[in-house]
Structure 1
Amino acid sequence: MWKVGAFTLLTAVALTACGSKESGKSSYPEKPLVVVAPSGAGGGWDKTARSLTKILAEAKLVDQTMTVENKPGGGGAVYLAEYATQESKNPYKLIVSSPPIIINNLKKEGNSPYGYKDTTPLAQLTKDFGAIVVAADSKYTDIKSLLDDIKADSSKITVAGGSAPGSMDHVITVLPAYKYGIDPKTVKYVSYDGGGEAIAALLGKNADAIGTDISSAAEYLKAGKVKVLAVTSAERLGGDFKDIPTLKESGIDAEFTIWRGVFGPKEMKDDELAFWEKTLKSLNDSEAWKKELQANAWEPEYKNSADFEKFLGEQEVLIKDVLNALGMAK
């Protein structure tokens, strides 16, 4: 009787396990999660990571504790190398990024051997735009007056950004100059580890202008500490930015969109990817996230994993063309 009972018990356990597996139920995530902003505090990546974790917790979309880590260096390239090589199987560490994940892989100087193909794209969440920003007391009131001075003697004008030469802030900064007939290689560009540090350099009179994203400049604009000479959007933005001209309005044929998204490790399992597909879609549809977008002056632009990956391939082609035009492609 014992043998029969034991056999019956073991059979039941096996069938239960089999049923559980077939049902596709997953216990992920079952421990705390980390979202990495591969930059210093205060920039677009940092703000995106903190907004993301805050709303996921507040909306109860993720039960586990979520924390943000800042890992600055090389405009995101330093941490991406670590992420691609040491965290490729760790689904408890995600990373936020934007065009630099492509730019750093394609540029000539300080090239990164790693790019978005060394991750699992989970979702695009927002879009933002570049901005050319000066201090509130700057003599410059329009983009052309700044570019005229750079054209006259580029050694006298210092422009800065929160990422390395050849990466996103640099592209935003030199693109108007290039389109204005200035050799982009002559522009005196100083890089900082993050948008917050670049703004501090501007306010501290260590730079005449910076190239950054408009959302990072928003609070300083509201406080009357900076002026925005132009934005890289195709059309004027609304709200606090309605009076800022686009580059095109200023007679400079250039535009640049800054998308932001979330990435997981390359070797993410199907159930882990499925969890984030569902969770990030729910985040995008929530009222709390819509309010967060408004508070940060971000434009909503959601793409699921498959659409995001396809879009990244298209972006890769576009960015390579821009870098070639600027003489910065590898």
Structure 2
Amino acid sequence: MKKLMFVILTVILSLGMSACGKKDAQPVAADGESATNSGYPDKAITFSVPSGAGGGLDTTGRALSNLFATEGIVDSTITVENNPGGGQVVGTVDFANKEKGNDYKLLIASTPFVLNHIKKEGNSPVSFRDITPIARLVKEYDVLAVPVDSEYQDMESLMSALKADPTSVSFAGGSGPGSFDHLNVIYPSMKAGVDVKGLKYISYDGGGEALTALLGKNADVISSDVSSVYEYVKAGKVKIIGISSPERLEGDYADIPTYKEQGIDAELTNWRGIYGPEDMSDEAKVYWEEKVAELVATEAWAAEIAKRGWQDGYMASEEFIKLMEKDEDMYTEIYKDLGMAK
């Protein structure tokens, strides 16, 4: 009898362990969901944008939201919320600290997210290691632009004025000191031989506010991404006097001279990417990685980035993480040269 009971208990334990093992090793379908399909996402998604409305980062978040819906790639409703302040510091820190494990909120951020963690002033305690990188989406270049009636019609006239008196020109940017927009003022100026310690840079919560300041004559020059500025170029209100790209862009932007061709050896690349929170579930991470990869392969996405003046910069998560590590090293060296590193 004891022997029979031992056999029965052994069989029961064996079946129980087998069932547990099957639960832990559920087969994964091609779309990234488990074969049991938990139904993620089953409610609305929010894209958090750490800048004000109207700038390039905001435009990226809204373009993603729109195309995920119109292309039928994501069924759930996606809303975009703005959380500006400190050149992405407020929004990225809030996201990292408050949204841990929240699979229904994602962050849209750009190069300043990396810069804010390594610069000395106004720095952020949060880096890309504190959240979940999903993909790099696009890359873009910054420009220096002026009102059409400005006395500065090219980089030479601007740099001449700065060399004579670095405080004579006021710059507006959609992010804080040490940010990408700020570097786009300081780095080419430094390369042109300007004493950059005296430069006047006014930070705003997004490119839209910076453009308003420029058009309202509250700044002489704007530092911003080319797509945000170009609508005002077409409207005849603004002139771009230089772009940070390694060579001239194509299409609508072909007439914009680079800093390099105007004798200033400076080149800077901005990118924008999408992130999940820390402790994001594996299921949600795989879902968004595959949905983004599906979107960037569409003709609609290609048309969108062409319309916006963005460059294709898609990178999957692993490659994106390596890029951010390299960016940290490169910009840390630039900040050291400028006396702005931590």
Instruction: Give the TM-score of the pair, scaled to structure 2.
Output: 0.90
Residue 66 to residue 20, structure 1, CA distance change in 2 (3 Å): farther
Match of 1:4 in 2: none
Match of 1:126 in 2: 138
After TM superposition, give the deviation of residue 91 of structure 1 in Å: 1.3
Please say if residues 51 and 83 of structure 2, whose CA atoms lie closer than 8 Å, have aligned partners that are also in contact: yes
Which deviates more from structure 2 when the two are superposed, residues 61-70 or residues 152-161? 152-161
**Whole-Å separation in 1 of the counterparts to 2:57 and 2:155:** 26
CA deviation string 1:259-318 (max 9, x = no partner): 111011021111111101110000000111111111111111110111111111111111
Match of 2:91 in 1: 79
CA deviation string 1:128-163 (max 9, x = no partner): 001001011112111111111111112221111011
**What code does the residue aligned with 1:106 have?**
I
Unmatched 5+ stretches in structure 2: 1-14, 28-33
Match of 1:149 in 2: 161
**Whole-Å separation in 1 of the counterparts to 2:103 and 2:327:** 26
Match of 1:91 in 2: 103
Match of 1:46 in 2: 58
1:97 is paired with a residue whose SS is: strand
**Whole-Å separation in 1 of the counterparts to 2:254 and 2:306:** 15
Match of 2:5 in 1: none
2:330 is paired with a residue whose SS is: helix
2:217 equivalent to 1:205: yes
Match of 1:22 in 2: 26
Residue 57 to residue 186, structure 1, CA distance change in 2 (3 Å): same
Match of 2:304 in 1: 292
Greater Rg by CA: 2
1:22 is paired with a residue whose SS is: coil
Pick the aligned partner of 1:189 from 201, 205, 209.
201
Match of 2:235 in 1: 223
**Whole-Å separation in 2 of the counterparts to 1:173 and 1:196:** 18
**Whole-Å separation in 2 of the counterparts to 1:16 and 1:290:** 46
**What code does the residue aligned with 1:218 have?**
Y
Pick the aligned partner of 2:295 from 279, 283, 294.
283
**Whole-Å separation in 2 of the counterparts to 1:102 and 1:185:** 23
2:245 is paired with a residue whose SS is: coil
2:281 equivalent to 1:269: yes
**What code does the residue aligned with 1:210 have?**
I
**Whole-Å separation in 1 of the counterparts to 2:241 and 2:231:** 16
Please say if residues 166 and 194 of structure 2, whose CA atoms lie closer than 8 Å, have aligned partners that are also in contact: no
Pick the aligned partner of 1:257 from 246, 259, 269.
269
CA deviation string 1:174-215 (max 9, x = no partner): 111111111222101111110001011111101110111111
**Whole-Å separation in 1 of the counterparts to 2:174 and 2:294:** 31
1:156 is paired with a residue whose SS is: coil
Please say if residues 84 and 118 of structure 1, whose CA atoms lie closer than 8 Å, have aligned partners that are also in contact: yes
After TM superposition, give the deviation of residue 19 of structure 1 in Å: 6.6
Please say if residues 161 and 173 of structure 1, whose CA atoms lie closer than 8 Å, have aligned partners that are also in contact: no
Please say if residues 26 and 271 of structure 1, whose CA atoms lie closer than 8 Å, have aligned partners that are also in contact: no
Match of 1:60 in 2: 72
**Whole-Å separation in 2 of the counterparts to 1:285 and 1:307:** 17
Pick the aligned partner of 2:128 from 107, 111, 116.
116
* Matched residue count: 318
Match of 1:3 in 2: none
Unmatched 5+ stretches in structure 1: 1-10
**Whole-Å separation in 2 of the counterparts to 1:283 and 1:17:** 35
- The percent identity for this pair of structures is 46
1:74 is paired with a residue whose SS is: coil
2:245 equivalent to 1:233: yes
Match of 1:7 in 2: none
Which deviates more from structure 2 when the two are superposed, residues 237-246 or residues 45-54? 237-246
**Whole-Å separation in 2 of the counterparts to 1:327 and 1:161:** 20
After TM superposition, give the deviation of residue 15 of structure 1 in Å: 6.8
After TM superposition, give the deviation of residue 85 of structure 1 in Å: 1.0
2:144 equivalent to 1:140: no
**What code does the residue aligned with 1:244 have?**
I
**Whole-Å separation in 1 of the counterparts to 2:224 and 2:215:** 14
Please say if residues 125 and 303 of structure 1, whose CA atoms lie closer than 8 Å, have aligned partners that are also in contact: yes
Which deviates more from structure 2 when the two are superposed, residues 219-228 or residues 23-32? 23-32
1:114 is paired with a residue whose SS is: coil
Please say if residues 166 and 195 of structure 2, whose CA atoms lie closer than 8 Å, have aligned partners that are also in contact: no
Residue 213 to residue 50, structure 1, CA distance change in 2 (3 Å): same
**Whole-Å separation in 2 of the counterparts to 1:17 and 1:224:** 67
Residue 59 to residue 15, structure 1, CA distance change in 2 (3 Å): farther
CA deviation string 1:85-113 (max 9, x = no partner): 11111111111111111110011111111
**What code does the residue aligned with 2:26 have?**
E
